[in-house]
Amino acid sequence: MPTQARSKSKASKSKAKPTGFVKESLEQAQVRLEAFEKEAQKVLEDLRARSKSSRKELTSLLEKFQAGELFESARSTEKKMERQVRAQANRLSEELADRLAAVQNAILSFVGVASREQVEELVQDLEKISKRLERLAKARPTQPKKKAPRSGTLDA
């Protein structure tokens, strides 16, 4: 009985180590996640500020145009500015998407989870292997197994 008590205490100690490691990893991941969230929040606030200033500028131009203060060239200027604002908004949107994707990939790699691309690659590899096995199974003729002679026996 004393050996069982010792083996149980050893087992509980060995279980405590991985749990502590996982807990530490999760805490570290949580800290990093909070830092990434703060960075994402800053980027989002910056985008909102830029959007707000662009919107004010566009509204101001529209008001001047509607008031008749601008000439015909104002329309071309307005359209040009609108294209610029849209292009800038698209660039900022792409930049934000890229940053968020980078944050997501960093979190996934830190936690040790495979990314979508890695999983898809593994699935493709498994499909190739499965097809090879099916071809090999079809190519192999079905014959009953013959007993192999025993090696290492003495025939006297």
Residue 154 lies in a domain: no
- Residue found under tokens 């601008």: 70
Separation of alpha carbons 56 and 60, rounded Å: 6
Residue 111 lies in a domain: yes
Residue 156 lies in a domain: no
77-135 per-position pLDDT tens digit = 888 999 999 999 999 999 999 998 888 888 877 888 877 888 899 999 999 999 999 99
Residue 46 lies in a domain: yes
Mean pLDDT, residues 125-152 taken together: 79
- Termini Cα distance of the chain: 52
Q: Which domain holds residue 63?
A: 14-137
Residue 43 near residue 96 (C-beta atoms within 8 A): yes
